[in-house]
Amino acid sequence: MLPLRYASPMDTLIPPFLRRQRNQRRLTLEMLSAKVGMSPQHLSEIESGKRDPRLSSIERMAEAMGMTVLIVPEALAPDLRRYIANNGRTYTTQAGKTGAKSTPTDAYGSEHAQEEN
């Protein structure tokens, strides 16, 4: 009996993300290949999802494009995504105050005036 293979987030998100990032940086497979020491064919197979890359391969590709791979516990992922979507600002309310406004703060806790539309 063959083991079941479940689609993981890596199977669906990382390969197309790597290709998109490479294309945005106007790097060919050959150019990236020279930077990471993998063949263009191997890189193409990773980007198309035909090959399951090792984490070290993903890290080398990311570094060559000026990115960092970050692994976080699943419980923190929603907060991290929200933080990134808000350009590094978190929104907190003052506890115990009725109708308190949210105040955006940056990664260092500095408050910023909230833009009103």
Q: What is the mean pLDDT of each run of 10 residues along the chain (117 residues)?
A: 46 84 97 98 95 93 94 88 80 54 52 48
Q: What is the CATH T-level fold of the domain 9-64, as seen in this structure?
A: 434 Repressor (Amino-terminal Domain) (1.10.260)
Which element (helix H / strand E) includes 92?
strand 90-92
**Phi-psi map region of 109: left, alpha, beta (phi>0 left; psi -120 to 50 alpha):** left
The confidence score (pLDDT) of residue 6 equals 43
| pLDDT on residue 86 | 84
The set of residues, in sequence order, having a beta carbon less than 8 Å from that of 11 and lying 6+ positions away, is 49, 52
pTM higher than 0.75: no
pLDDT at 94: 59
| Residues forming CATH 1.10.260.40 domain(s) in the chain | 9-64
Sign of the four-CA dihedral 21, 23, 24, 26: positive
